Structure 1
Amino acid sequence: MFISLFGAVESGIIYAIMALGVYLTFRVLDFPDLTVEGSFVTGAAVAAFSIINGIPPIIATLLAAVAGFIAGCITGVLHTKGKINSLLAGILMMTALYSINLRIMGQPTLSLLNETTLFGQLEEMWKSIGLDSMLNGILSALGLEQLPSTWAVLIIMVFITFAIKILTDYYLKTEVGLALRAIGDNKKMIRSLSANTDSLIIVGVGFSNALVALAGGLIAQLGGFSDVNMGLGLIVIGLASIIIGEALFGTKTVVRATLAVILGAVIYRIIVTLALRVDFLETGDMKLITAVIVVAALVTPKIIQSRREKRRRIWKRQQLRTGGDGHA
């Protein structure tokens, strides 16, 4: 049970990077971008192909992000310069990326099991300085279960994910970031102020897909393979993370909203892991579980709000009947 939850948190913190990318398009830019289902695989494919061909894992991971940025920019160009509907532009790019990803990998699946990945290097570095054995020794002395060998990966990924969150927060507070947020609220108003909305949208969608592809490259290295179908349904996972996070933690500020997205991604993975431990559910039911989670996250806050409004109306009626002083 502990190992399963640990794995859920480990993958969730990486998927949180992807969810941040989805947040930028869907919430900030109000741009329903389906490119992410293709760019996620592109990141995984570029990272896997690069590592297999001898490129250092850290460089391969950065190349994955660059590939995602290019894919996102093309989607932005199709929408802004080609005047194609944003949803359709994303679908077209996602479709094109399927073939491009196959070209990059040369086959439907690339294995990294015999390759040195970024996480493998991190584990070796952690062991070489003795922190791994020291922590497990402390846990054994306390009578606690030892952590999995990848615990160092989780700690480093937490730092990386939150570093990306801080950079995203800073970016959204810059002049360009504020313009992006304004475009999502009222594009016509920003255009009336002579701002180059087309360039801003292209860069925003590109940045979003760079984060998604970065997450894809990391997931490929964590899982040990890249598969052409690994991005299927990814947009729903991203939206589920955003919706769960917003429902539980709110969105009053940018800092709070991005934190909610990260926590929502982790909670989503934990929920799915716990759901799959139920006897009558199987691995093939994961998409159904995701759909149920999203529906629950969307409907539950509305039901709670509706009940609050109902109680407020009842209280106001009682106040009117009693003259506001509590006496009839």
Structure 2
Amino acid sequence: MANMIAHGFSVLDNPSKHTSSTTLSELDTTTHDYDSSSMSDCESSISGPNNDPDPSFHDGLIRLHEGDRVYDLLRRRLVSVLGLVGAQAEVVAIHRNSVRGVMGQARIQSFQIFVKATASKCGGDANVKFAWYAGSKEDLCKIVEQGFGNPNNNGLYGRGIYFSPDDSPMECLKDSVVDKDGLRHLLLCRLVLGKTEVVHPGSEQYHPSSEEFDSGVDNLTVPKKYIVWCTNMNTHILPEYIISFKAPSTLNGFASVRDSSRTPTSPWMPFTNLISVLSKFLPPATIALISKYHRDHKEKKISRVELIQRVRQIAGDKLLIAAIKAYRTRY
């Protein structure tokens, strides 16, 4: 892991990564198929004994139960991709969007129209992905009922709705809110990503840069963030499930534990030199953002751990490690 001391940057060993063979591909055959007949089936199923809406949630949500194939799949997937946190997490409830009513049907039909249109535009592949979004129970229920509104993120990657890929929920989990019952809630959505483009930290982008692209990512090879622009937020996003769970009380400090604050014993470089090296690879707006965070740290506006996390998020460990190795070779 990359780790920073007060005015320098160091490389530490990477911890082993947790992997799992559990995927959400099975959901493609277990959820509704976005047509009018399946929507009717969803509506009729509400009267079944195992599909009663939980009174503590919005009545547009249907509670799934243990033993249901989708319930078990989603529980296994969330626990597996949360790694160490998942080993201590307890899934309490899973609710499915009932998509009932005129507006619910209209949203599904709109989503399907854009799936087909994007597929036609992109050579047959709309690049539909599952992704996680975090928020309070109230916020997530409102999204299911009314759709997305103004972004509540920090705008690091422009003005859009940020999601975490299906296999990387930790980033969005940091934004989750613990309710009065001690539960956190994640919203699992389908996204129409189409052709993606890289959006660099510090960007002020709010729509695709050209007609060629449809959405944004922080990294084309291994994305940790999907960015759906506000112009597409209620046509390219389909909220499907809310997963409610208990997680360790140390979750908020999990990143801090992972990014140890101990003084590094491995080689490091002065932070000003790091900025100089990074400026050869990253756009000016991104370098300006890194410099701002460094000033914030020097002025004690953010902690060293926060600075570490933000610089790693912006530059990526691969580039940081290469920069430090190059510096050590030269000096």
User: Is the radius of gyration larger for structure 1 or structure 2?
Assistant: 1
Structure with the larger RCO, 1 or 2 (CA within 8 Å, 6+ apart):
1
Q: Normalising TM by the smaller chain, what interval?
A: under 0.3
With normalisation by structure 2, the TM-score equals: 0.26
- The two structures have a TM-score, normalised by structure 1, of 0.27
Larger strand proportion, structure 1 or 2?
Answer: 2
